[in-house]
């Protein structure tokens, strides 16, 4: 009997184990059935992570390389912040495709073509200067890809010769006439200048346009233009002309040029004893200006600009600290404009709910009160931003915010 009981107990245990093994089998089958679903979910995640390409066409070498380099630094900082925060739309990352236009118009055209036709970018940032931007405008217009320039200030960039707004072209900087008008008002009302001399680059539309508007506004205010002279980028001895300004009794000198020539002109003016205040525009904004002119020579000089790193606003200081942490230097206005342009493109994509170029273009045109580092930005009917203009004073080689003026 004991043997029979043990045998029955053994058979019962064997049956339980067999059932246990049998019950486990379906679970493995269920696991196999879930694999396609997991693969599908992973595939969806990979699709969501497909990057959105933004074209970046800037002057990374050549005559105005610091403009492009600083702008691209600002763009990269902004897009890194966007990507680190989870990207845009369904979590897509933004991929900047950065190419060097070598500060040349023909190269800017070539770069724009490559970015749009080969890289398939959904928007085009750049270039920094008016000439190089105008070289890219026909390409962006032909392929209907929105172009957002950060610092091309000539009115013709967004409006054609017939006065029609270019549908796909925008900018984050103010245009030339308002900064020349603000400059003239500052020279006459704030600096007390009554006799102005003007020294401009006769080969450059940017410089010529600023000089014309400044002269018109300064005379309208009651001032007198005692001398007006032109230079070319190849010139390096400006002493005869600044001596002429001194002899004419100029009590303010307007030089709407780029930092390379401006630095030499101011340095040589101080050498011959011309101590009058010098005034200029955003083309002055480069650390190279101090290297060329010398910090002491730049005292009593001013220029209109898009922002000031010394602006105490929380938004400006947060940007300045982030930029310094990344690049180890104080950001110029070109860096700030690049940062704003990149954030504005991302904002337009979010508002459009799509990375389609036409949808981005429509969202850009509808931009209102965008909270940028360079000021709250609303586009007018010509795709120009409406915002305040900063006036920078150079003090011992440092840029200090003197005041802000709203264009009239």
Cα 34 to Cα 291: distance, rounded to the nearest angstrom: 67
Is the distance from CB of 401 to CB of 392 less than 8 angstroms? yes
Position 222 scores a pLDDT of 98
Length of the chain: 408
- How many angstroms separate the CA atoms of 370 and 385, rounded? 10
The pLDDT tens digits of the residues spanning 316-335 come to 999 999 999 999 999 999 99
Task: For the chain, give the percent of residues with pLDDT over 70.
Answer: 88
From the list 384, 340, 363, 374, the residue with the least C-alpha distance to 75 is 340
* Model confidence band, residue 84 (pLDDT cutoffs 50, 70, 90): very high
> Roughly what angle, to the nearest 10 degrees, separates helices 130-143 and 205-221?
110
Distance CA 340, CA 327 (A): 17
Mean pLDDT computed over 256-285? 96
**In the prediction, which pLDDT does 24 show?**
37
CA–CA dist 225, 79 (Å, integer): 46
Q: What is the pLDDT of residue 3?
A: 40
For 369-408, what is each residue's pLDDT tens digit? 999 999 999 999 999 998 889 999 999 999 999 999 887 7
Q: 3-state secondary structure string, the chain?
A: CHHHHHHHHHHHHHHHHHHHHHHHHHHHHHHHHHHHHHHHHHHHHHHHCCCEEEEEEECCCCCCHHHHHHHHHHHHHHHHHHHHCCCECCCECEEEEEEECCCCHHHHHHHHHHHHHHCCCCEEECCCCHHHHHHHHHHHHHHCCCEEECCCCCHHHCECCCCCECCCEEECCCCHHHHHHHHHHHHHHHCCCCEEEEEEECCCHHHHHHHHHHHHHHHHHCCEEEEEEEECCCCCCCHHHHHHHHHCCCCEEECCCCHHHHHHHHHHHHHCCCCCCEEECHHHCCHHHHHHHCCCCCCCEEEEECCCCCCCCHHHHHHHHHHHHHHCCCCCHHHHHHHHHHHHHHHHHHHHCCCCHHHHHHHHHCCCCEEECCEEEEECCCCCEECCEEEEEEECCEEEEEEEECCC
pLDDT value of residue 16: 44
Q: What is the model's pLDDT at position 244?
A: 98
Which pair of structure tokens corresponds to residue 186?
Answer: 């500052």
- Residue 353, pLDDT > 60, answer yes
CA angle, 338 then 306 then 250, to 5°: 140
Judge whether 139 and 105 are in contact, CB under 8 Å: no
pLDDT-derived band at 7, boundaries 50, 70, 90: very low
Contacts of 324 (CB under 8 A, 6+ apart): 330, 331
Report d(CA 49, CA 41) in Å as an integer: 13
Mean of the per-residue pLDDT values of the chain: 89
Please give the Cα distance from 348 to 365 (Å, whole number).
Answer: 9
Residue predicted with more confidence, 33 or 138: 138
- pLDDT of res. 23: 36
Residue with tokens 């970018």: 121
Token code pair at residue 199:
């020294």
pLDDT of residue 18: 41
Instruction: With CA atoms as reference, report the closest residue to 379 among 141, 58, 158, 137.
Output: 158
* pLDDT higher at 137 or 408: 137
Alpha carbon 118 to chain centroid, angstroms? 23
At 48, the pLDDT band (50, 70, 90 cuts) reads: low
User: What angle separates helix 333-352 from helix 357-365, to the nearest 10 degrees?
Assistant: 110
Report, as an integer, the average pLDDT of 240-263: 97
Here the tokens at position 278 are 């010098």
CA distance 348 to 54: 13
Distance of alpha carbon 220 from the chain centroid:
33
Question: CA-CA distance, 122 to 361, in Å (whole number)?
Answer: 10
Average of per-residue pLDDT across 337-341: 97
Note the pLDDT tens digit of each residue in 97-130. 999 999 999 999 999 999 999 999 999 999 999 8
Rounded Cα–Cα distance for residues 109 and 139 (Å): 7
The pLDDT of residue 17 is above 80: no
pLDDT band at 300 (very low <50, low <70, confident <90, very high): very high
**What are phi and psi for residue 407, nearest 5 degrees?**
-65, 145
């Amino acid at each position: 009997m004991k043997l029979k009981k043990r045998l029955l107990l053994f058979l019962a245990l064997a049956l339980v184990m067999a059932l246990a093994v049998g019950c486990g089998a379906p679970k493995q089958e269920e696991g196999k059935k879930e694999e396609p679903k997991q693969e599908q979910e992973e595939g969806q995640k990979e699709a969501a992570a497909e990057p959105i390409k933004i074209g970046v066409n800037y002057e990374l070498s050549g005559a105005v390389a610091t403009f492009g380099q600083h702008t691209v630094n600002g763009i990269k900082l902004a897009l890194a912040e966007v990507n680190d925060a989870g990207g845009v739309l369904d979590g897509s990352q933004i991929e900047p495709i950065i190419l060097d236009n070598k500060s040349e118009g023909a190269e800017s055209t070539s770069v724009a073509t490559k970015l749009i036709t080969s890289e398939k970018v959904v928007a085009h940032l750049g270039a920094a200067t008016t000439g190089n931007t105008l070289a890219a405008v026909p390409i962006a217009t032909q392929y209907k890809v929105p172009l957002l320039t950060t610092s091309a200030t000539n009115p013709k960039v967004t409006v054609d010769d017939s006065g029609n707004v270019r549908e796909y072209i925008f900018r984050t900087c103010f245009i030339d006439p308002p900064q020349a008008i603000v400059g003239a008002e500052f020279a006459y009302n704030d600096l007390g200048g009554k006799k102005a001399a003007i020294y401009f680059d006769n080969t450059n539309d940017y410089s010529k346009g600023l000089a014309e508007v400044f002269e018109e506004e300064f005379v309208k205010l009651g001032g007198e233009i005692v001398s007006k002279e032109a230079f070319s980028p190849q010139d390096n001895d400006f002493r005869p002309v600044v001596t002429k300004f001194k002899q004419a009794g100029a009590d303010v000198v307007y030089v709407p040029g780029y930092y390379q020539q401006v630095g030499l002109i101011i340095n040589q003016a101080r050498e011959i004893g011309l101590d009058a205040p010098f005034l200029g525009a955003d083309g002055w904004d480069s650390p190279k200006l101090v290297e060329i002119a010398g910090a002491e020579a730049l005292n009593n000089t001013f220029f209109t600009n898009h922002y000031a790193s010394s602006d105490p606003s929380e938004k400006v200081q947060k940007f300045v600290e982030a930029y310094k942490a990344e690049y180890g230097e104080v950001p110029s206005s070109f860096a700030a404009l690049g940062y704003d342009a990149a954030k504005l493109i991302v904002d337009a994509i979010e508002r459009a709910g799509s990375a389609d170029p036409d949808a981005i273009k429509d969202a850009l045109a509808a931009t209102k009160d965008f909270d940028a580092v360079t000021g709250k930005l609303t586009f007018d009917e010509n795709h120009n931003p409406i915002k305040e203009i900063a006036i920078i004073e150079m003090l011992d080689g440092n840029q200090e915010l003197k005041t802000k003026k709203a264009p009239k």
